[in-house]
Amino acid sequence: MSELTLETAQAILASTLRAARTRGFKPLSVVVYDARGAIKAAASEDGTSLKRMEIAMGKAQGALAMGLGSRALHKMATDRPHFIAGVTHAVGGFMVPVPGGVLIKDSQGHLLGAVGVSGDTSDNDEIAAAGGIEAAGLTFDAGA
Amino acid sequence: MSELTLETAQAILASTLRAARTRGFKPLSVVVYDARGAIKAAASEDGTSLKRMEIAMGKAQGALAMGLGSRALHKMATDRPHFIAGVTHAVGGFMVPVPGGVLIKDSQGHLLGAVGVSGDTSDNDEIAAAGGIEAAGLTFDAGA
Amino acid sequence: MSELTLETAQAILASTLRAARTRGFKPLSVVVYDARGAIKAAASEDGTSLKRMEIAMGKAQGALAMGLGSRALHKMATDRPHFIAGVTHAVGGFMVPVPGGVLIKDSQGHLLGAVGVSGDTSDNDEIAAAGGIEAAGLTFDAGA
Amino acid sequence: MSELTLETAQAILASTLRAARTRGFKPLSVVVYDARGAIKAAASEDGTSLKRMEIAMGKAQGALAMGLGSRALHKMATDRPHFIAGVTHAVGGFMVPVPGGVLIKDSQGHLLGAVGVSGDTSDNDEIAAAGGIEAAGLTFDAGA
């Protein structure tokens, strides 16, 4: 397992928020997990709703749980809803299968962690996460 | 964050029940939360079923969690059932995505809390909540 | 099962809050359940902490669960902590075994419901609940 | 209810980590909640264990739930373990009653949120949180 340092996680967090601000997205909650599923960094912009962060967490945790960007989970949930429903229960309830949970990889393709974003449309949440990871010099896997 | 006082919450509760009685709705459970998601006031009319209040609570908590009247959650649940299923888990299980969870806002549009109503049809539950908030001199957002 | 009407529940709620204000207690959360464990009425005074209502609910639900005022549960928890720990799990987690969960009975001793109070010391919480039930012309059982 | 901005939350987070580094504490997980119990900012230093952040979250959420710095919860848990056990269940399991969950207040004493810290001894965790809040120009309540 490659390690995601706090410094890198904070860089991804900052560039994700910048990516959202440049595009005029709604206020976001953003969380960065390492590959173990431990929170390294998180921030909620002013104006997010009460449980917005929990939704961001669910996207990133779902991505890590199955090793796929959450757009792929979204497709699975559409094609085979019972599968994702079952997995959600099996993993303890923390999986939000829509775009915006994006895997972080290094240049060799090793998994470093995942970013979860919620607050705008799922597509825009994903754009912010992917842009943030890229701006930090890393590779993203959104599950496309 | 603006504060919802007990006095205002009780006024909303009373006018919601009045709105229901004027229209001859079935017995209702009504709950009023502040913007933190803390219960300020609640009442179940005589004749409500065993867990009717929990359903009212789920509507209001869902609205606060996502910052949207629960009619909008209802639409999301119809369009993307896996999304609302995932969010429900992520926020701890307390979300009932049908009309009747209505946000309370002040004249400047600041969020004060939410009303949850259950007992009649979802549409009628929403009518009672919206009418109650309006009669108390505040603005409602049902998620239309 | 005797029925606790909304009118009576609201009278108990109001007299419990009055009992607290006369004595200068800290801001309270008060909930009134019927004998089925359904919420009939609830109020949080201004200034209560985020989960104060949940604690009040746990006291009343514990009292109803075992048919004993929560002071008796407090004694059990002191004498046989493993018993109350086990019961708490068995009933789904909703039991706060300290004074302030007080049974409501009619003049024939039939159970009507329970009041849960939290916000001041457990002893004062119980004083408010017992005073409120008595002022509404009913009989209380605090578990002494 | 006063609002804790992301800017202030990030300042508290940074000064809490600085307070820990100056004193040579072990790697910490730090989380900053607003008064609603929503995460505003969080960071885990390199080397924290798998669920260290969840412990920090439990300290801060316990403090917000009961409106007391978690050192006071620690005393309650020692004096009346069944009470804190019951409350933990009642609030949904998220309460770690040891020092290190510290309330954030403004100069008028209004609650702004809470900081949770875990990673070193509970006493040191609290020192970091209190120092961080103070360095950000705000007032702390550790529950002493």
Q: Chain C contacts of B42, Cβ < 8 Å?
A: 31, 39, 41-43
pTM for the whole structure: 0.96
pLDDT of residue D20: 98
Tens of pLDDT, residues C93-107: 789 999 999 999 999
Among D2, D3, D36, the residue with its CB nearest the CB of B37 is: D36
Q: What DSSP designation does A67 have? A: T
Q: Chain D contacts of C62, Cβ < 8 Å?
A: 86
pLDDT of residue A94: 86
Question: Could you read off the pLDDT tens digit of each residue along chain A, which spans 144 residues?
Answer: 579 999 999 999 999 999 999 999 999 999 999 999 999 999 999 999 999 999 999 999 999 999 999 999 999 999 999 999 889 888 887 899 999 999 999 999 999 999 999 999 999 999 999 999 999 999 999 999
Element (H, E) at B42: strand B39-44
Give the chain B residue whose CA is nearest to the CA of A84.
B82
How would you list the strands of the sheet with D29-34, edge to edge?
A139-141, A101-105, A111-118, A29-34, A39-44, D39-44, D29-34, D111-118, D101-105, D139-141
Tens of pLDDT, residues B4-48: 999 999 999 999 999 999 999 999 999 999 999 999 999 999 999
Tell me the angle at which helices C6-22 and C122-135 cross, rounded to the nearest 10 degrees: 130
Q: How far apart are CA C46 and CA A111, in angstroms?
A: 49
Q: How far apart are CA B77 and CA C138, in angstroms?
A: 46
Examine the pLDDT at C144 and tell me if it is beyond 80: yes
Q: What is the mean pLDDT of residues C100-125?
A: 97
**Residue in this structure with the two tokens 């089925």, named with its chain if needed:** C36
pLDDT of residue C58: 96
- Which residues of D fall below an 8 Å CB-CB distance to B? 1-3, 34-37, 92
Residue B109 identity (one-letter amino acid)? G
- Where do the DSSP E strands lie in chain D? 29-34, 39-44, 101-105, 111-118, 139-141
Q: Does domain C6-141 have CATH number 3.60.150.10?
A: no
Among A10, A29, A46, the residue with its CB nearest the CB of D5 is: A46
β-partners of residue D43 are A41, D30
- Phi/psi for C77 (5° steps) reads -65, -30
Examine the pLDDT at D92 and tell me if it is beyond 90: no
Tens of pLDDT, residues C8-42: 999 999 999 999 999 999 999 999 999 999 999 99
SS3 labels along A80-115: CHHHHHHHHHHCCCCCCCCCCEEEEECCCCCEEEEE
Q: Chain A contacts of B90, Cβ < 8 Å?
A: 51, 54-55, 57-58, 93-96
Tens of pLDDT, residues B96-120: 999 999 999 999 999 999 999 999 9
Mean pLDDT for chain B? 96
Neighbours of chain A (3+ CB pairs under 8 A): B, D
Alpha helices in chain C (DSSP H): 6-22, 52-66, 70-79, 81-90, 122-135
Say if A and C touch: at least 3 Cβ pairs within 8 Å.
Answer: no
Examine the pLDDT at C2 and tell me if it is beyond 80: no
Q: How far apart are CA D52 and CA D54, in angstroms?
A: 5
DSSP string, A17-61: HHHHHHTTPPP-EEEEEETTS-EEEEEE-TT--TTHHHHHHHHHH
Q: How far apart are CA B76 and CA B73, in angstroms?
A: 5
Element (H, E) at B17: helix B6-22
Residues B73-90 as b or e (16 or more Cβ within 10 Å = b)? bbbbbeebebbbbbbbbb
Handedness of CA B109, B115, B119, B122 (dihedral sign): positive
Residues 6+ apart with CB under 8 A from D17: D28, D30, D43, D45, D128, D132
pLDDT of residue A65: 95
Among C51, C54, C98, the residue with its CB nearest the CB of D83 is: C98
